[in-house]
Amino acid sequence: MPPPTAATDECQNDMDSRAKAAWLSDTLDTAIERLRKAHPSAKLLEQSVVLDVVGQLLPTDGGLDVIRERAIQMDRAGLFAGSDWDHPEALLPQISGNTLMAQDPALVAIEAVSLGRFLAIATGQARHENLHQETARHFLTQVLALNLRDIFGQSNEATRALGDRQVTKQRLLRYFSDHIGLTDVLGALVTEVWRLLEQRSVQVGVAKDMIVQIAIALHQNGTEPGSERLGAERLVSALFGPTVASLDDPGIEAYLDRIDHFDEANLSREAMGFARAMHDTGLVSDYHVAFLLHVLDYRDHSLVPEALGLGSTGLDCWRQYRRLINDLIRASVTLSTPQAVYGLAMLLERGVLHHAPMVPALDRQLRQKVLGSARARITLCFGDVVQPETHLLAGVLQIIGQPLGVGQGANPTCQSARAIAMWSQIEPDYLLHIISQACEFDAMLMQFEGTKINSANLPAGPVGVGPIDADPVSVLLVPHLDRIYAEMGRLCIGREGDPHRWINPEFHGWWVSRDCAVAVDVATGKLSDYENFLRRFFATYHPHHNGNRPVSHPQPAGIAVTDPNQQFVGWHAISILRVAEDQTGMMRVYFYNPNNDSGQDWGGGVVVSTSGHGERYGEGSLEFGHFLSRIYLFHDEPLRRQEPKKDVSEAAVASVRTQAIASWASDRQ
């Protein structure tokens, strides 16, 4: 008999691994059945047994196939019960990568099963009542896109130190990429980043992370020539080489040394290159920051408006308020706060400095100190590389420059996010007033029908001490707004009808119409006089039925959010911005959604558009009837006569009603 060779040993190991996977497969089937039959008090123990077997299967040949094939069975048996994974439609793709490297093997195992469930649904091998096939595929595409470095096998000291955990993560991701396809991932990733950037969110961290992954992919594998590669390279260059002098990504010090020898013509070319890239994507390169501070301190100040890409309104503000603008740049723009550049440019383009209170209010903000727990909160969220005052001022510029870019993050604070966006749009001086209150006193004072409400005297709301995945202004204000909003609700206890009738005008501002139409009976949750509700919305907002009266101020409204399967998800606060025909002549409602991503599929053909139908940055839009089919509350002027509108056709009302009954109102008749 010939002596064993390395190849023989490897073959034997493969056979042993496959045999182990087969044995563990039978063991897993038994464990799943025990979990399915377990009494609720014993579920936790049986869940741990299943996860232990899954953990043993992960490194075996064929083990991932076993997990994928049984993922739905494990779900139905109750593996995810009592955990976040029990709601796959609410899971965040940016969290998966870190969970796959968790020190707790049970966490890795449950994430692996969850991803196996997504894969089974995405490939059509299984169905799930709360997860659509395309939604599952999109989720996996994002997970892969955010972890391309691991798929390509790139390592550093940090990843090497993880040992087997990193190996397991790479193995899982490569398995999913084999089934989904990396070509699709890269193409979808580029499309997804552009879709997110078109909304001009204040928070761009996820988009920047995705662009880093695109850069890695281009460096490792490249792509075929064409529009996909062109779109990818535009994104990468916007961050890492937007101008001639920064094209090779030389590093900040080397870049500054280069431009130190440039004449005015070359500096002007650099300024225009930065401005073009910034306004194209909404992203600010670190090189842009370095250039702006350099020309402000050492060169011709006239290059500043060029670097900001200002139009006629912005240039007019620059000429009149140059000192203030220079001070704002020096105090807010750093390598830790690059997006302040875009925020400032958009603030100037809005012309808000011509509003009399804004200049002294911004002067006050320049000198404002952040005190007390507010200071600790901002430091916790954004680090201590720069002072909390710098982060806050940068956030102020972004919020006022990009009012529709405010996002609530993963927090139940849509009301507060909507209020911040409204104040930024309509009364930015009031926004700066309450920011000053929160900085100095770590409190906020508002009134409800003459009753003073001090946030310092109220218990913490649902968001606790505050959100951590939000912009600096929201981190500062939302804990106070959250408490005040809840207190206004308490003051409405005992009143008949929906409390938002009284809360919204007091909480948001004078421009909110004082009458309120609600589609459901608050006590029962059932539809109430729904046909009249629909006709009244037509009469209030549709230009063909309201005398062509435009929406002058954003109006708060409530929507019944549904998933792609038209299943009711929950109530949500938005604001109606305008109603107009798009380029095809279709009447659309344009609205602000405080979710960080407004583009959503609400099922039944109701898909929110964020571009391509006349949307401005930050707006979502729907065809008028589709939008109305998801509305359950809106405000109206009480002085307007409320007679039934006969000029709205029965067919139009019936169409909207049918869509509502097929979705959120299916059990509310």
**Predicted local confidence at residue 10, as pLDDT:** 46
For range 636-644, the mean pLDDT: 73
**Predicted local confidence at residue 67, as pLDDT:** 92
* pLDDT, greater one: 540 or 133: 540
Give this prediction's pTM.
Answer: 0.80
> Over the chain, what is the mean pLDDT?
87
**Predicted local confidence at residue 84, as pLDDT:** 86
What are residue 546's phi and psi, to 5 degrees? Answer: -120, 20
For range 600-618, the mean pLDDT: 90
Q: What is the pLDDT of residues 274-303, one digit of tens each?
A: 999 999 999 999 999 999 999 998 877 889
Residues 6+ apart with CB under 8 A from 552: 511
Structure tokens belonging to residue 237: 């260059």
* pLDDT, greater one: 379 or 103: 379
Query: Confidence band (pLDDT; 50, 70, 90) for 156?
Result: very low
- ∠ Cα 487 491 493 (to 5°): 115
Most confident of 177-186, 390-399, 533-542: 390-399
Distance between CA atoms of residues 580 and 586, nearest Å: 8
Q: How far is CA 324 from the centre of its chain?
A: 32
Q: What is the pLDDT of residues 53-111, one digit of tens each?
A: 999 998 888 889 999 999 999 999 999 998 889 888 888 888 888 888 888 999 999 99
Query: Confidence band (pLDDT; 50, 70, 90) for 408?
Result: confident
Distance between CA atoms of residues 579 and 622, nearest Å: 10
**Predicted local confidence at residue 452, as pLDDT:** 94
For range 132-147, the mean pLDDT: 84
Q: How far is CA 612 from the centre of its chain?
A: 20
Query: Confidence band (pLDDT; 50, 70, 90) for 641?
Result: low
Distance between CA atoms of residues 622 and 268, nearest Å: 42
User: Would the pLDDT of 185 be above 80?
Assistant: no
- According to the 3-state scheme, what is the secondary structure of 12-75? HHHHHHHHHHHHHHHHHHHHHHHHHHCCHHHHHHHHHHHHHHHHHHCCCCCHHHHHHHHHHHHH
User: Would the pLDDT of 20 be above 90?
Assistant: no
Instruction: For the chain, give every domain's residue range.
Output: 17-180, 189-240, 355-491, 515-661
User: Would the pLDDT of 154 be above 60?
Assistant: no
* pLDDT, greater one: 202 or 298: 202
Structure tokens belonging to residue 439: 């900085």
The lowest-confidence range among 202-206, 368-372, 494-498, 595-599 is 595-599
The lowest-confidence range among 1-5, 250-254, 401-405, 629-633 is 1-5
